[in-house]
């Protein structure tokens, strides 16, 4: 049996977090969650548009929310079972820490 790659583990965790309702999606909701301090980690697709990337990362820096750029939008979207998603906010400290440790 082949061991899972870290990327696959991250995708699995994102899927778990989604089913546990510990993620927020959609630009407006994510910005709201960053401002309110609910976002523990922001995950951005590597192929996100410049404007959206800048808006999200500026908010994260201002509100001191960690963010990571990970795989492309197709893999990110597939992990949460929705299409065309370029950003996912993890709202649970445990999931955020585990995902962050796998990305290091």
| CATH number for position 37 | 3.30.1330.30
pLDDT score for 1: 61
**Count of structural domains within the chain:** 1
Distances from the Cα of 94 to the Cα of 27, 48, 50, 75, angstroms? 23, 26, 29, 22
Classify residue 7: in a domain, yes or no: no
| Helix, strand, coil percent content, the chain, rounded in steps of 5 | 55, 15, 30
C-alpha 10 chain-centroid distance = 10
pLDDT score for 26: 94
pLDDT digits over 50-59, tens only? 999 999 999 9
List the domain range (segments joined by +) for residue 58.
22-103
Average pLDDT of the residues in 66-82: 94
């Amino acid at each position: 049996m082949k061991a899972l790659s870290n990327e696959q583990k991250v995708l699995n965790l994102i899927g778990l977090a989604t089913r546990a309702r510990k993620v927020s999606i959609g630009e407006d909701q994510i910005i709201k969650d960053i401002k309110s301090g609910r976002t523990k980690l922001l995950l951005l697709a590597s192929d996100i548009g410049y404007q959206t990337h800048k808006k999200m990362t500026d908010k994260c820096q201002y509100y001191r929310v960690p963010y990571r750029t990970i795989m492309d939008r197709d893999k990110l979207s597939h992990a949460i079972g929705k299409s065309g998603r370029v950003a996912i906010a993890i709202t649970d400290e445990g999931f955020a820490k585990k995902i962050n440790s796998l990305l290091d």
